[in-house]
Chain A
Amino acid sequence: MRAWLLLLCASESIACAAAPVPPPVPAISAPEAPPVEPSMPATPPIPADVLLQLWLPESGELYRIAQDGRFLVTAPAGLEAVTVPMSKTETGAQVVSATGLVRLGRALDSVGFFALPAEVKGTMPAVDVRLASTGRPAKAVSLVFSARRDGEAVTVRVQADPGASVTMGPLGPLYDALDQEALGGWAHE
């Protein structure tokens, strides 16, 4: 079974031992956006130097690809840290490569991200379907993608299972691209 989302570099991991010392990440001090719905925490604003971010409000995970290729991960209740991306094509890369950034840009274009509404419909399967990745039942949570281009920031939310991009409706290909460049879920059995 493949895992959903990524295998995070832990302090004991080989990959992280070789990772560069994370530069200090400036705290985000931008004013909070108005909440989307009363019970939901506000979407973390996408910083000016970030190309693409994915936020999972239920778990608190936040993944960011900076415009210089740095992969920034915030674990629940943790601090944001630069992490080695798990790229399908460039295993030795310490950051998402220039061509990887181009591929992410193309993925944003291919799903028409900057023209999408603030919320899109997922494609969750009928009941009693499980993920091949983990064997658990498919379960929808919020996935909030934000991307920035030419000073414009767009945020799109979908209710889907993070373990299966086929449930993410029009955002599936974008998730796949992020997965291939950084998240590494593609690599797990």
Chain B
Amino acid sequence: MESGGAGNAAAAEAVAGGDGGASPAAELATVGAPEVLGEGTAGRDGGTFSWVDDAMNAMGDALDMRSGEDRLDAQEELAAFRRRTFTPLTDHHPSSGFGQFDVTFDAATGAMVVTLKVAYDFVNGSPAAVSPGFRPEEFQWTPAEQTAWSTRYEADVSAQWSSRHVFHSTKPFWTAMLVNTTVRVVQDASHPHFRLTVAKYPNDAGMAQSSVCDPGRHHDATGDLCSVNAPAADGSVPGHGTGSFDSNDMRPEQKLDWGNATVAVSFAQGGAALSTAGAALLQPVIAQLQAAPTAHVELTGRSSTDHRRGAPAADRAVENMDLARARAAAVRSALIAAGITADRVLVRNQGEDAADAGAEWRRVDVQVGDHEMQDPALHETGHMLGLGDEYAVTGAGVGTPVEAGYQSMITATTGEVLARGRDESAMGVGSTVRPWHYSSFLEALRVISSDQSWGI
């Protein structure tokens, strides 16, 4: 949904409905207009015969003689509603206590647009946060990579969060009034809802953490705590929140399958050639992947802590990471040669991390997983859109309530009562957008339309 389109429609409405607006007087002025057939007849408003229709309808109203009186009244009200313009919400804060966004609503087309304004700050990643052996330049962005990341982030957020559920009016005879929600991310460095710090990591480094601080707060130096924003020079306190993201947030390698058994494919000392025995070990994995088309496979490339004789100390971890990468690449090639598509093969390399000098570390761990994968950036964006976490977090976790503010918002919109678990919810550990994930949008629709009569 282009904002220009919505704007044009609003302008057209303003002409058709006079000052339109949200005032009761404006509504009263349009009651009795001949929009019985819906918005398609709106063009007759200023037409020659409208006053005749008005008069006839008014008489009918007064004498309660029209057939389907309630229905006709409702349809008239709906047509009037569709002609109204609605004041956009700026820096809207959902009642959950999380999130901040702008909202526009065009009743004529049923289009609600949720806009998340962000500013990007691309920074170098921290080598200490991942396995040793990646090269320093792999923690540095190129301008092209920054553009690619933000472009993909903006597209992926729209794809994941837009048009997943439709709102409908709960008023009698307003069944035609449906609302589609589009979510878009736009860059606004001067007045963002969230400032996103995005750190660069090697593609195969696996997971660094992502988190969001609520509006009015920012990540402190530890990265684990959110402090209140300091006043600016003019005394005003910036209202934005912050996000701490990384370059791998949109890579599915981020979510791992703990506990699923691994197949360990061994390699010769210093070697990365897949042996006959290693290839044989992959056969059951290939069969498993062929039998379960939605399953994926995760490869972890490893090495022992042995080093090439004479290798300078500074190069040792890097050489072993290169070796681990070559081993994982050999396994990946074998899987792809067997017909497994590349997008099902996830690779993260650990080199000599966690290893010792034992020969058993000269291996690639191969693990088949069938869980729905989660894009951490999209999960974090869920928080920016007003949603809370739904995964189990403590020894008492499974079945315990979600954050109270989040539950209250959901109760008031969908009536759903959530219990923490481990499922494919986008706010759990998967990427499925459930109906209650539209609760902050539904709440915003009620605010922007000054009308509670909306459901999902």
Give me the interface of A with B, judged by CB distance under 8 Å: 1-10, 12-16, 18-19, 59-63, 73-76, 78, 84-92, 94, 97, 99-100, 102-103, 125, 128-136, 138, 163-166, 184, 186-189
CA distance A45 to B30 in the complex (A): 77
Question: Complex: how many Å from CA A131 to CA B298?
Answer: 31
Residue of A nearest to B211 (CB): A132
**Which of B267-275, B349-357, B444-452 has 4 or more CB atoms under 8 Å from chain A?**
B349-357
Assess the B393–A4 pair: CB atoms within 8 A: yes
Residue from the list B220, B260, B379, B397 in contact with A129, Cβ < 8 A = B220
Does B365 interact with chain A (Cβ within 8 Å)? yes
How distant is A136 from chain B, measured CB to nearest CB, in Å? 7
> Chain A residues with Cβ under 8 A from B429's Cβ?
7
Cα–Cα, bound, A111→B320 (Å): 30
Which residues of B, 414-434, contact A by the 8 Å Cβ criterion? 421-422, 429
Do the beta carbons of B350 and A89 come within 8 Å of each other?
yes
- CB within 8 Å for A187 and B244 given contacts A125-B225, A135-B388: no
Contact partner of B397 (CB less than 8 A), chosen from A1, A8, A99, is: A8
B369 adjacent to A14 (CB under 8 Å):
yes
CB pair A92 B365 closer than 8 Å: yes
**Is the Cβ of B227 less than 8 Å from the Cβ of A89?**
no
Whole-angstrom CA separation of A84 from B422 in the bound complex: 15
Task: Tell me the complex Cα distance, A122–B233, Å.
Answer: 34
Given A7-B391, A13-B422, A89-B350, do A130 and B214 touch, yes or no (CB 8 Å)? Answer: yes
Instruction: Judge whether B370 is part of the interface by a CB distance below 8 angstroms.
Output: yes
Contacts of B223 in A (CB 8 A): 132
Q: Which 4 pairs across A and B sit closest by C-beta, in order of nearness?
A: A92-B262, A15-B259, A84-B259, A61-B395
Dominant SS among interface residues on chain B: loop
Residue ID in chain A nearest B221 by CB atoms: A166
Q: Is B32 an interface residue (CB 8 A)?
A: no
Query: Are A10 and B398 in contact, with the CB atoms below 8 A?
Result: yes
Is B300 interfacial (CB-CB < 8 Å)?
Answer: yes
Give the shortest distance, in Å, between A85 (CB) and chain B (any CB): 7
Q: How far is the CB of A79 from chain B (nearest CB, A)?
A: 11
Residues of A with C-beta under 8 A to B392 = 7-8, 10
B379 to chain A: closest residue by CB: A189
B257 touches A91 (CB 8 A): yes
B117 on the A face (CB < 8 A): no
Q: Determine the chain B residues whose CB is within 8 A of the CB of A103 once the complex forms.
A: 354
A131 touches B259 (CB 8 A): no
- Residues of B within 8 Å of A128, CB to CB, are 228
| Contact A135/B98 with A7-B392, A130-B213, A130-B225 known, Cβ cut-off 8 Å | yes
- A62, A84, A97, A189: the one contacting B210 at CB < 8 Å is A189
* Residue B226 CB within 8 A of the other chain: yes
Query: In the bound complex, what is the Cα–Cα distance between A73 and B396 (angstroms)?
Result: 11
A14 touches B370 (CB 8 A): yes
B259: chain A residues at CB < 8 Å are 9, 14-16, 18-19, 84, 91-92, 94
Q: Are A131 and B224 in contact (CB under 8 A)?
A: yes
**Contact residues in A for B422 (Cβ distance below 8 Å):** 7, 10, 12-13
Interface string of B380-403 (1 = CB under 8 A from A): 100100001101111111100001
